[in-house]
Amino acid sequence: MTFDYPAILFAFLIFIPMFITDIIRKKKKLKLSQELEIKILLSAVFFRLFLVFAIIAAAGPRWGTGYAPSEYRRGVDVVFAIDISRSMDIKDAAANKEVSRLERGVEIARETIINVTGVRFASAIGRGKGYLAVPLTYDNEALYVFLESISGSSITGRSTNLESLIEAAASAFQRTSPARKVIILISDGESHSGVMRNALLRCAREDIIINTIAVGSDEGRQIQERHNDPESPLVVSKRDAAVMQSAAERTGGVSIDGNRDDAASILASNLLSYSKEKDSERKELSDLKKEQKQRRALFVVLALIFFAASKFVTRSFSGFKFRLPFFSLICVLILFSSCTDGKIKLLEANYLASRGRHNEAIALFQDALNYEDAAAYAEYGLGLTLYSLDEGDNALRRYSNSQELLKSFPNNEHRELRYRNHYNSGIIFFEEGDFEAAADAFKEALRTDTKRIEAKRNLELSLISLTIESNRQTATKERQEQREILFDYLQQEEQEKWQSREWAPEEEYTGLDY
């Protein structure tokens, strides 16, 4: 056992004068009834147990670990690096030869997004140069729509630079994030420029895993370059599985045959496995593995129980000395039985979020959504965590989901959560400049709890900002109208000036022309 504040343990010195007082009292030999002596003795014992547990709780005790020793959940960030070179238009990615390589790769990516939850996704595309098209986000729907938009052949073009594509995908990751970093390279392996080895070395240095999806056929298909010369020779483009295999092996990833029907399920299983690591595979997480879990709440509960017992024991009850232990046991069972698995997950998620380990917190919040008594609070926790990651729109959606779940409860229950959903939504609306929506959110918060001063202040600030914005727009409109009137006036004056001017006749001059 370790303590966050070990200096507080010196408070145990208070027991020294207590023992001295007990010795003095015994020497006086006060004449008390046996029943009263038993009550005084039990009261003293329970009160001292209360002091013991209170001091330990104040010192912040820790032991054990916050996770099961055989499994550890961590966040995963995934970037799809999609090759959109011209060779990806060749339709040899399936048995019937009617599906292009790009269409097959995008199909695998979409199925993976549907099957994998609790993961941040992003997407990079590239041909001659790579670009990060969609940054890391938990909004899987946005990425799904983007993948649908690149499934056609209109976006493809000449040249392939897999080095630039991988570099663009690697730029999506945050160096400070503890999440596992994974790139899914979807390509046929053909590269006409760049040195792919340089990008692989960078990924190896930064602990970025590259999984590859090799699309196309090994025998290939003929294509014809028809830019300037229609008589240009036919070129055979085929999948280079060796390049894709080598890229995966260099970074500790796997290479998957894109022509397999179960390619998406294999990829999804592989991504989910990254969030669960065995102890032997967690070298970089040794500090997290050694971190002990705080147990202060347990000692606080025990201290309260024994304090109540020290006061309760002096009452006169028949057979009380038998009922007291039973009563204490019932209290402990009630307290601990009230903590369901969902609530425990919420506590762990809140702890991780307070430590800045947002990806791990989000995974636990999403697990807590499966418990009816914790789902509304899990949605609220997701909103707070997403807001800390600057994803305001997703946070608003989570707050709204929490409110929807609360509709099944009476209005007088979970009042604080209802208030927080509205209040935090108002904060986001205000930061986005939507002062009208912010004012409405703060009004709803005040309807839930009329005594909250911070909501009243923010409502006033929103209304003031709304008035200022309205006045600014009105003033801008008036200035524009004034400029147009002045411009029309000057234009009319200039026209009249030039129309009324008469040209003077030239003077006759017969002298020398120098």
pLDDT-derived band at 289 (thresholds 50, 70, 90) equals very low
pLDDT at 284 over 80: no
The fraction of the chain above a pLDDT of 70, given in percent, is 74
**Domains of the chain with CATH codes:** 2-52+297-454 (1.25.40.10), 76-223+231-274 (3.40.50.410)
pLDDT at residue 332, rounded to an integer: 47
Residue with tokens 């483009």: 237
Model confidence pLDDT, tens digit, residues 401-412: 999 998 888 877
For residues 147-158, average pLDDT: 66
For residues 242-251, average pLDDT: 87
CA dist., res. 470 & res. 462, Å (int): 12
Q: Which helix (H) or strand (E) holds 238?
A: none
CB contact burial 410-448 (16+ within 10 A = b; e otherwise):
eeeebeebbbbbbbbbbbbbbeeebbebbbbbbbbbbeb
Question: If you ran DSSP here, which 8-state letter would residue 186 be given?
Answer: E
pLDDT-derived band at 189 (thresholds 50, 70, 90) equals confident
pLDDT at 159 over 90: no
∠ CA 133-359-247, rounded to 5°: 55
For residues 450-479, average pLDDT: 82
* pTM, to two decimals: 0.48
What is the DSSP pairing of strand 76-83 with strand 2-3?
unpaired
- Find the range with the poorest average confidence among 99-113, 184-198, 203-217: 184-198
CA dist., res. 321 & res. 39, Å (int): 9
Give the residue ranges of DSSP H helices in 251-391: 263-274, 286-290, 296-312, 320-337, 341-354, 358-368, 375-388
CA dist., res. 49 & res. 57, Å (int): 12
Of 394, 458, 388, 452, nearest to 419 (Cα)? 452
**Rounded to 10 degrees, what is the CA torsion of 32, 34, 35, 37?**
60
pLDDT-derived band at 228 (thresholds 50, 70, 90) equals very low
pLDDT-derived band at 379 (thresholds 50, 70, 90) equals very high
